[in-house]
Amino acid sequence: MNASLPRFAWNHAPDTLPLLHLPSLPHALPHARQAANNAAPVEASDYAQLQHARVLLNCYAREVAMQEHKLAVRSIAHTRLAPAALRQYQGQVLDIQLPRMQSRFCVGVQHVSVTGNYDYITDIYLQDHQQSWSVASWREIAQIIVADLSLREGTAFNADLLQQIEESIATMQHLLEAQQGKLRSLHTDSALQQYIRSEQHLLTGHPFHPTPKSRSGWTRTEEKNYSPEHGARLQLHYFQIPRSWIISDSLDEQDLSSRLQQLTGHGLQADSKHIIVPLHPWQADWLMQQPRIQAAMATGDLRDLGCSGKQFYPTASIRTMLAEDGSAFLKLSLNLRITNCIRNNARHELAAALTASRLYRPMKADMLALFPHFHALEEQAYLSVAFPEDQQQSDRQHKEIEDGFGLVLREGLASHLAQGITPMICAALFGNGQAGRLQVAALIERFSHRHSLSLRQGMRLWFSRYAELAIYPVFYLLFEKGIAFEPHMQNSIVGLAEDGTPVRFIVRDLELTRLTPKAHKLIKAMQLDEHTRKEICCSDEAGWTRIGYCLLVNSICEVIATLANGNHELYLELWACLRNILQSYLANFPNPEAARRIQGLLSGEPLPVKGNLLIRFLKQADRKAAYLPLYHPLGVVNEA
C-alpha cells in the first residue's frame, strides 16, 4: 500500500483511451496508473458496451436481486455449477439468481460489497434455462433483465428501454472516441480550468443508472457542439421579448435584464417595453419550430437576435452554463430528454429554487460560524415567460413553450477561487470509472506525501476530512433546521487546497430542496402559490430519504468504493471512519431526530436507495421513484 505513483500521474489528466483498463480494474488504488499503463488499448465501442453491461448489473443487483435475496458473493469453490471459464479464478464471485427466467449471472468481483459497489474483474457469464453458460453481451443482459422485470411487474416488455440503453452506449462510444489521443497537462492549468475540466470530463456517467449517457434528440453534430465532454464552449442565443410577458423574481430586487446583459456581454439593445433573454442555442432552434413562437415572430412581438456575447462552458448537467470567469452559472432550459427527464425549467421549480435561497440566506451567518468550510450556492434570480392568453389561466395552453424560456441565475465560484481553492465536481472523482480513479490516486498520493503519511494513512485522513466537511453541515440543516438539500455527487463540489486537502464542501442546485415540518412555519409569511408550497414541503421521512440517498448512498458509498479500490480491509477501515464521524456528529449536535437516525444506522438499519432502473422500466416520472432498503457495514465495523 505504500508504493508510490509515478510523478507522471500528478501532472496529466487520464484522457487517453488506451489508459482504460478492461476487463479488470487495479486491485489497489495507488497502482491505478501502472495498471492502466500496462493495459492493452481498448476499443471505445467495447468499453461503452461493457460499461453499460456493468451498470445494468449494478442496478439489478441493488434494486431487485438484493431485495429478493437472490444475490450472494462467495469463492469459486463454493459456487454451485460455476462457469467452466471461472474454474481457475481465485477471487470472489458475484452470483445472481433469476428464477423467473430460470437463469443466472456470475461474474468475478474484487471483494464483497454490502452496498453493491462492486468492481467487476471478469466477463459476465449468463446461464440459460438449460444450465449452459456463455459470456453475456450488454444486449443479452438488458433483454433478460427487462424480461424478468416484465414478469415481476406483470407488464409488457419495455422495448423503449432497450432502445434508450443502445442510444446511451452510442453516445458514450462517441464521447470516448473523441478522447483518443488526448493527453493534456494539468500542471499549469489554473484552478478555474481544473474545475471546468472536472465538469466536462464525466465520460461514463452515473454508475447506478441504466442509461447514464442517454440524450434523446441530438444529432452527432449537436453532440459535438454542445456536450461538455467535448469541451464545448459556446455563445448564447438571444430573443427580444415584451416585458409584459416576463415573469421574474430576484433575491435582491435588482433589474434582472441589466444583470444578464452584464454577465453575458451581448451588447444588444432593447427599448423600455422589451427585454433581451438568453437561451441555449439548441433550445432557440427548438422554440423557433413551435407555431406559437412563429406567430409571435410574425407579429413582431418576439424578435430573434441570434448568437452573440461572451462564451459559456456547459457543465455536467449539459444545460447549466458557467461564465468564462467563473463568476456565475446560468441554468437554462432544454426541451431534450437527458437520462430521465425533459430538462426545461418549470415555473414552480424556478420559484422553489429562489424560495430555498431566501430561506437559507438568514441562516448563512450562523452556518458560517458553525461550519466555515460549507457553502450553498445561491439561486439569485429567475425568469420565465407567460403569453398574454395564458397569464390569467391556471390550465396553461402553452406551458411547454413558456417553460422553455425559463432560466435561473446562480452564484458562481469566484469567491472560492480567490481564496486559492481548487473546486472539483465530486462526480468527476467518484463514480467516474477509471478516469476518476486515476485522478483520485494522484490526489491521495500528493496529499499523503505533503503530510508525510503512508498512502493508507493518507486515504483514511483524506476521507475523514471529506466526510466530515460534507456530513456535518448537511445533517445539521436537516435535523436542526428542517432543510434537505439534494447533495448527490453531481450537485456537490469539493474545494481542494494546494496540497490536495479537502477544505470546502459546496452544494448547488437548490431547485429540489425540501422542507420537513420543522421548517414549514418559515414559509407561511412568503405567500407562495399552492403548487410551489406543495412541491417544497415534505415529511420528516421524505427529508431523511433525500439526505440518506443523495449524501450517504450516492456520494459517500462511491467515495469509499473509489478509495478502497478492491482492498477489502481498507474498505472496512473507511466504513469504520464513517462510523466515528457519525458518532462524533451526534456528540457535538445532540438532537432526538438525529439520534434516532444515526443510532439506527449504527445498529444496522438500512439506507434508502433510489430505484433508477425500476423508474425507467415503469416509464414513470422521476419524482415517483421508489426508494428501497440498502444495507451497509456500519453496524458491524469496529471503531477506527
Average pLDDT over residues 197-202: 94
Residue 503 main-chain phi, psi, to 5 deg: -125, 0
| The dihedral formed by the CA atoms of 36, 41, 44 and 50, expressed in degrees to the nearest 10 | -60
pLDDT of 297 higher than 70: yes
β-partners of residue 322 are: 313, 329
Mind spelling out the 3-state secondary structure of 415-438?
HHHHCCCEEEEHHHHCCCHHHHHH
Q: Which residue has the higher pLDDT, 117 or 33?
A: 117
> Grid cell 464471485 — which residue?
93
pLDDT of 37 higher than 80: no
Q: How far apart are CA 419 and CA 528, in angstroms?
A: 37
> pLDDT band at residue 602, thresholds of 50, 70 and 90?
very high
> pLDDT band at residue 529, thresholds of 50, 70 and 90?
confident
The string of DSSP codes covering 552-607 is IIIIIIHHHHHHHTT-HHHHHHHHHHHHHHHHHHHHHS--HHHHHHHHHHHTTPPE
- 33-42, 265-274, 631-640: least confident range: 33-42
Q: How far apart are CA 237 and CA 74, in angstroms?
A: 57
pLDDT of residue 4: 30
What is the residue-averaged pLDDT of the chain?
Answer: 89
Query: Residues 453-508: pLDDT tens digits?
Result: 999 999 999 999 999 999 999 999 999 999 999 999 999 999 999 999 999 999 99
β-partners of residue 240 are: 276, 303
Q: What is the pairing mode between strands 379-385 and 320-323?
A: unpaired
pLDDT of 241 higher than 80: yes
- Read off the C-alpha cell for 239: 430573443
Q: How far apart are CA 587 and CA 385, in angstroms?
A: 49
- Read off the C-alpha cell for 622: 422521476
- For the chain, how far is it from start to end, CA to CA, in angstroms? 18
- Read off the C-alpha cell for 251: 433575491
Average pLDDT over residues 53-77: 96
Within 10 angstroms of residue 85's Cβ, the number of other Cβ atoms is 15
Determine the length of the chain: 640
> pLDDT band at residue 632, thresholds of 50, 70 and 90?
very high
Surface-to-core class of residue 505, CB atoms within 10 Å of its CB (0-12 exposed, 13-18 middle, 19+ buried): buried
Query: Residues 350-389: pLDDT tens digits?
Result: 999 999 999 999 999 999 999 999 999 999 999 999 999 8
Q: How far apart are CA 177 and CA 162, in angstroms?
A: 23
Collapsing DSSP to helix, strand or coil, 355 comes out as helix
Q: How far apart are CA 320 and CA 515, in angstroms?
A: 24
* Residue 485 Cα distances to 26, 145, 454, angstroms: 35, 33, 35
The residue type at 138: W
> pLDDT band at residue 10, thresholds of 50, 70 and 90?
very low
- Read off the C-alpha cell for 488: 448527490
Query: Residues 605-622: pLDDT tens digits?
Result: 999 999 999 999 999 888
The residue type at 84: A
With residue 375 as reference, give the H or E element that holds it: strand 374-376
Nearest alpha-carbon partner for 622 in 356, 415, 337, 391: 337
Query: Residues 21-30: pLDDT tens digits?
Result: 333 333 334 4
pLDDT of residue 23: 31
> pLDDT band at residue 41, thresholds of 50, 70 and 90?
low
